[in-house]
Structure 1
Amino acid sequence: MTNPKYKSDELEEFFEAVLMLETLEDCYKFFEDICTVRELNSISQRLEVAKLLKIRKTYSEIEKETGASTATISRVNRALHYGADGYDIVLDNLIAKGLKKDK
């Protein structure tokens, strides 16, 4: 269930736009235009932190591997346990994809 405090027509249109992206190249082009490099790095770092938490890495391992602060790791951990399950929608597939690459 989505959190109604975040809902808006503009946000729904943004999400619809994201769903129109068909390739990685499309994603790079769109997000390069709409986000700063810092924003993209922060978002991708949080996803990496979530992935590492999901595979049971420790805070210190994650901090060393990603450069994320313990505050960021804690925030992501809280979202994993008490959030809207958004990470779970993609994490299992990302982890499986990563494991296949390692073989």
Structure 2
Amino acid sequence: MNVNYKSLYKAFLLLKSEDECKRFLRDLLTSAEIKEFANRWKVARMLHKKISYEEIEKETGMSSTTIARVQKWLINGKGGYKLMLKRIK
């Protein structure tokens, strides 16, 4: 595993609140990158609720290609989306 990746993962694990997470992400990423991540997470939640691609496109402004990519990772990924969807209920 890449040492830089491991260091980033450890940094996330050390965050203790939503505010800390917000501040860390804002320093780490641009507003556009945070928005992109938030939209992908929203797409994953909507797909999990069986909402149609068309409705997801309308609500999020994400392309069908991006929605399909999120769907692919939701179904065949490493289980991260599923894990968080289960925990966040």
Structure-1-length-normalised TM-score: 0.82
The alignment-based identity, stated in percent, is 34
Please tell me whether Structure 1 or Structure 2 has the larger radius of gyration of its CA atoms: 1
Partner of 1:93: 87
One-letter identity of the residue aligned with 1:90: M
Q: Structure 2: 5+ residue runs without aligned partners?
A: none
Any idea what the Cα deviations from partners look like across 1:4-56, whole Å, max 9, x if unmatched? xxx30110000100110001110111111100111101111101000000110
1:9 matched residue in structure 2 = 3
Q: Which segments of 5 or more consecutive residues in structure 1 lack a partner in the other structure?
A: 1-6, 97-103
SS in 2 for 1:57: coil
CA RMSD of aligned residues (A): 0.9
Structure with more relative contact order (C-alpha pairs < 8 Å, separation 6 or more): 1
Indicate the residue corresponding to 1:52 in structure 2. 46
Which stretches of structure 1, 4 residues or longer, exceed 3 Å deviation after superposition?
A: none
Secondary structure of the corresponding residue to residue 69 of structure 2: helix
- SS of residue matched to 2:62: coil
